[in-house]
A and B are shown apart, each in its own frame.
Chain A
């Protein structure tokens, strides 16, 4: 009996860890693709040309204005309704729940990250842009060498927030049959009726993953900090405090 219970616990733990690994993949890939998309989107949003601003505005409006769950369902169940898509060259990708989740998550987080980046760009002191122009920088040079590096730095804390939200949002992948962390927990609960135990374990793993993200963003903030503008720490805390 004890041996059986022990075996069950080991198997459940292995399944939860496999789920956590999938959660990490989904979050990391979605952030990678989403952030890549966010740069052109943010530049379009801040463009002087209306024909560039409008589509970006529409994109951001749509993806921030509808629930992530709806977006996942549209990509996974919605697209599959069309014969043309099922016979199309993209079907090998779109037939997989894994890629559908990554597509939906990427498109969603791109909208939020674009806005975060835009906020960072708006916060770049006007004087620096004027200085760039005074030095004869082209518009592209000005954006690439002055505005974006500053914007990214300033957007980092808000971006860290978005990564954490994506981590937790990835739980929605369980609704399209992916056995990521939440999906595994729910399946184990259905089998054993141990709801509190498995949700608590899953929650603990999410906390640990969040901690990793917090630390990672913090590291980037330090590394990219301008000389003399190092991130202030609360008096009395040390560098390396758990949630510094």
Chain B
């Protein structure tokens, strides 16, 4: 629904404001580079006590600006209007943990992914759960998620239990009704840090079930997109990315 509204508004505003473009100096990267983010998605983007945008997304954005040798100007924008505001020229790129989807690709262009929403299994420590042998196992997951869809297609021999809330699945895992939970690895990581999650651990590989998280730019800003991609690749190669990653997660989220 959120996506649909954003899409419709984006299409509408794109038509209205197609002439209101900011002129770029060569070589295609505006200075300052204005970055739109949200601020309600910790630890990726959030507003700290002093009102500053902080988080993984913001660190990535700052590092990109540094590499592109431009000044970074951060702007907070509510999620519903985040694409329309980009199209209206309020900022030049969205770094707000936005999933690359086909719907959004109709209105904006995405860079390469800068992190992945990987799905993982969590099971009791030392319980010997094997993601390769799901037959006969009871797996919990949240209804209407990519994890649930994947299990429906790939875990025919397992008993899949669907929960309305991720927190209910945790309760059942703790109660030993479930052999494992299959869910977003980063969300699971946060739970494992809590007292309730103490006896559990991630088991097996991370599954990449979508195209990941990318930076959105206007479709016509192809040069900016290429520059951002090049900067991202360089950050990944020289360890800048790993340094930022390590501030938030003890494992790679790329």
Contact = CB atoms under 8 A, between A and B. Distances in A.
A187 B143 contact: yes
Contact of B172 (A77, A186, A187): A77
A37 to B, nearest CB: 26
B144 A190 contact: yes
Interface residues on A, range: 10 to 19
Interface in B140-155: 140, 143-144, 148-149, 152
A58 B6 CA distance: 53
Contacts, number: 36
A86 B140 CA distance: 19
Q: Main secondary structure on chain A at its contact with chain B?
A: helix
Nearest to B178: A177
B177 interface: yes
Using C-beta atoms within 8 Å of the partner chain, give the interface range for chain B.
10 to 19
B48 interface: no
Nearest to A175: B164
A81 interface: yes
A177 B163 contact: yes
Interface string B70-84: 000000000000000
Interface string B161-178: 111100010011011110
Interface of B: 140, 143-144, 148-149, 152, 161-164, 168, 171-172, 174-177
Given A177-B140, A187-B143, 19 more contacts: A77-B168, A77-B171, A77-B172, A77-B175, A81-B171, A86-B175, A95-B176, A95-B177, A175-B168, A177-B161, A177-B172, A179-B162, A183-B162, A186-B143, A187-B162, A190-B143, A190-B144, A190-B148, A191-B152
Interface of A: 77, 80-81, 86, 95, 97, 175, 177, 179, 183, 186-187, 190-191
